[in-house]
Amino acid sequence: MKRKLILCLSFLAGFLTLAVTKPAAAAEQTYKIGTDITFAPFEFQNEQNEYVGIDIDLLKAIAKDQNFKIELKPLGFDSSIQGVQSNQLDAMIAGMSITDERKKSFDFSDPYYDSGIQMAVAKGNSKIKNYDDLKGKTVGAKVGTESATFLEENKDKYDFDVKLYDAADALYGSLNNNTVQAIFDDEPVLGYAVTQGQPLQLVGEKEKGNSYGFAVKKGKNAELLAKFNAGLKDLKANGEYDKIVANYVAKSDDETATGTMKKIEPKKSEYVIASDTAFAPFEFQNTDNKYEGIDVDLLNKAAEMQGFKLKWNHIGFAGAVQAVQGNQADAMIAGMTITDERKQSFDFSDPYFESGIQLAIKKDNDEIKTYADLKGKKVGAKIGTESADFLQKNKAKYGYTIKQYDTADGLYDSVRGGQIDAIMDDYPVIGYAISQGQELATPIKRESGGSYGFAVKKGQAPELLEMFNEALTEMKRTGEYDKILDKYIADGNEQKKSSVDESTIGGLLKNNWKVLLEGLWKTISLALISFVLALVIGVIFGLFSVAPIRGLRIFASIYVDIIRGIPMMVLAFFIFFGLSDAIGFTIPDYTAGVITLTLNASAYIAEIVRGGINAVPVGQMEASRSLGLGYTHTMRKIILPQAIKIMIPSFVNQFVISLKDTTIISVIGVVELLQTGKIIVARNMQSTYVYLIIGVMYLIVITALTRLAKVLEKKVK
């Protein structure tokens, strides 16, 4: 009896345990949910690299309300569809429109968001309040969207022009710079842009669009859909749904539309910024030899507004790219066009300048007023630019010939001197040239071009981009952005003049003699230091090359072949960027220049030494050895004194070559004499006089060295 009672109690306890634990097991059920990688404001990564957004927050809140767990799989929209269809995912949520076609493959929840398109204008624009106010205006939208279709259907009714863009950044940038006066986009996307500080205001009511739904495979996971619908109903009833949506989407009268800048916390005490040396009006040296320009002023202002410190490194465009990729700089700003190819290596800020290309002619040229007037003419552009591509694409159509140039000064000098009839260049560069006194005219409206962006290495310094974006938005809202642009870009009606007239040789010398002498001294010091070091190394390897020990001769031969076989520009890049990255700290540009020049010159000096020693008659060595003198003593007392007399003219010649080779070192940012001249030309466009002055300076120094060599040669003899 007692045993039966125990068995009954055990059975009852097991039943109660099962009854209690079974619901708990159900509560622990986890569903794999696919979502998009980035579709703000529905799903995207925040500063902590966590996925957030309307879809994500709603799903988490519903899972909590309905007592189930989710395993989020941000695979992208298309991959999520495949994952659900192949049973690798239980469901997907990715701003997915509910359509009859999709219902053939998916079962959808109740709609959780009713989308639609809406109009937005620049903040503060009180002239556009409805569609009737769009008459005579230009309205923008993204290609292939509901917005684009709506505008095409209504453009005749409301008498506006339509301009389409491939990307959202170009669309919003065009509204900011007044290329378009209004834009249309998905209402939640516009609302999110407002919450992120875009200076927009939403106008009117949204046009009804598709509804978004949570989706499972047709005939599968019905219980999950039921849970989602029940949780969605609960969230709407208790107000949680509205809070989640309001966290990401602003309305036209929302307090987040005020444009107040969000302060971001810097993660470094100082950020190193690489930039170009001479790309006026974006970066160039002023008459006080300090860097300024659109890029410089914008970033300095952003740093001031956000409270972070900058250290500028003006090393040229190619050098800046290498510096960021080699972790020697945190970011770069150098009129850098945002392209899909560059996005593979860089993360970009919001566009800060919408560029474009434009045709320019001499001011007194009345023959060219349209592209058709270019027939039989010569048109110039810089190699590898948008302008060159445009001219190449249209030359058959308009019947002109193209002449391409490596540098801007050669391009502008050619149109001024009549070698070509017209030029094509970035419109802000032409505008700056006009402001500096270049007698140019722009008879044809500019062609739209790419957008410029502030860039960091892919996956690094996101806070720096965010600080720049916040400050840029605020500058556009307050008008500070327009002030900076107006300071540097002229339309040809007004011309800003330097406080000192640089249109004459006297004016150039008066205003730039100090910086020219600094450039000359850097050129001479580079040549002197590197040549002394090269002399030591070259003599050693030269002696190795004639040594009786075969291993030393082979070693010297390999060294000379390797160094002479590498172009000096490549060697400079390797030492400054590659070697710096390999050893973990940055080699200063001047030091890298000295190392490059030393290695290059030492290989040629080694050959000079070898040739000088071999020029001494072989009988000298044989006679000395027959008298019982050792090899070292013979070389020091008999061979080398004679060889040195032979080598001196070649040594002086090599020093002159090293002096000239310093111009190549400018590619890594060393501002020697020629680079100094380029910086001056970028500011004042007076290339003829500037390069004449530099040529005379080189001539004086090299002539003096040649005279000195002849004196030394006579004394030695």
pLDDT tens readout for residues 150-172: 899 899 999 999 998 776 777 88
Q: What is the mean pLDDT of residues 663-685?
A: 74
User: Tokens 């378009």 label which residue?
Assistant: 180
Q: What is the mean pLDDT of the chain?
A: 82
* Alpha carbon separation from 460 to 158, 266, 306, 457 (Å, rounded): 46, 13, 19, 6
Q: What is the mean pLDDT of residues 126-131?
A: 86
Q: What is the mean pLDDT of residues 277-296?
A: 81
* Alpha carbon separation from 200 to 242, 257, 302, 594 (Å, rounded): 22, 7, 20, 53
Burial of 642-653, coded b for 16+ CB within 10 Å and e otherwise, reads ebeeebbebbbe
Q: What is the mean pLDDT of residues 167-185?
A: 83
Residue 411 is predicted with a pLDDT of 80
Q: How confident is the model at residue 685 (pLDDT cuts 50, 70, 90)?
A: low
Q: How confident is the model at residue 8 (pLDDT cuts 50, 70, 90)?
A: very low
| Pick from 244-258, 431-445, 526-540: least confident | 244-258
Residue 296: pLDDT over 80: yes
Selection from 385, 386, 373, 382 nearest residue 403 by Cα: 382
Q: For residue 185, give the H/E element and its range.
A: strand 182-186
| Cβ-Cβ contacts under 8 Å for 30 (sequence gap 6 or more) | 68, 69, 70, 71
Which of the 8 DSSP states describes residue 337?
Answer: B
Residue 491: pLDDT over 80: no
Residues facing residue 382 across a β-bridge: 405
| 585 three-state secondary structure | coil
Q: For residue 314, give the H/E element and its range.
A: strand 310-314
Residue 242 is predicted with a pLDDT of 81
Segments of 395-507 assigned E as strands = 401-405, 422-426, 440-441, 447-452, 455-457
Radius of gyration of the chain (CA): 35
* pLDDT: which is higher, 122 or 628: 122
Contact 683, 285 (CB under 8 A): yes
| Cβ-Cβ contacts under 8 Å for 711 (sequence gap 6 or more) | none
Residue 499 is predicted with a pLDDT of 46
Residue 630 is predicted with a pLDDT of 67
Q: How confident is the model at residue 509 (pLDDT cuts 50, 70, 90)?
A: confident
Distance from C-alpha of 425 to C-alpha of 358, rounded to nearest angstrom: 6
Question: Which residue ranges form the domains of the chain, and what is each CATH number?
Answer: 26-112+213-254 (3.40.190.10), 114-210 (3.40.190.10), 271-354+453-487 (3.40.190.10), 357-449 (3.40.190.10), 505-716 (1.10.3720.10)
Distance from C-alpha of 161 to C-alpha of 151, rounded to nearest angstrom: 9
Q: What is the mean pLDDT of residues 66-78?
A: 89
Residues facing residue 402 across a β-bridge: 379
Residue 575: pLDDT over 50: yes
Selection from 33, 32, 34, 37 nearest residue 76 by Cα: 37
**DSSP states along 263-286:** P---SSS-EEEEE-SSBTTTBEE-
Residues facing residue 274 across a β-bridge: 313, 332
* pLDDT: which is higher, 204 or 62: 62
Q: How confident is the model at residue 542 (pLDDT cuts 50, 70, 90)?
A: confident
Angle subtended at Cα 321 by Cα 590 and Cα 198, rounded to the nearest 5 degrees: 130
| Pick from 105-109, 171-175, 446-450: least confident | 446-450
Residue 716: pLDDT over 70: no
Highest mean pLDDT pick, 32-41, 490-499, 574-583:
32-41
Residue 629: pLDDT over 60: yes
Angle subtended at Cα 149 by Cα 148 and Cα 153, rounded to the nearest 5 degrees: 115
Residue 220 is predicted with a pLDDT of 93
Q: Which long-range contacts (CB under 8 A, 24 or more apart) does 25-31 make?
A: 27/67, 27/68, 28/69, 29/68, 29/69, 30/68, 30/69, 30/70, 30/71, 31/68, 31/69, 31/70, 31/71, 31/90, 31/91, 31/221, 31/224
| Pick from 58-62, 77-81, 257-261, 479-483: least confident | 257-261
Contact 415, 407 (CB under 8 A): no
Contact 142, 185 (CB under 8 A): yes
| Cβ-Cβ contacts under 8 Å for 667 (sequence gap 6 or more) | 316, 318, 319, 569, 572, 573
**Helix, strand, coil content of the chain in percent (nearest 5):** 55, 15, 30
pTM of the model as a whole: 0.45
Selection from 441, 612, 650, 378 nearest residue 531 by Cα: 650
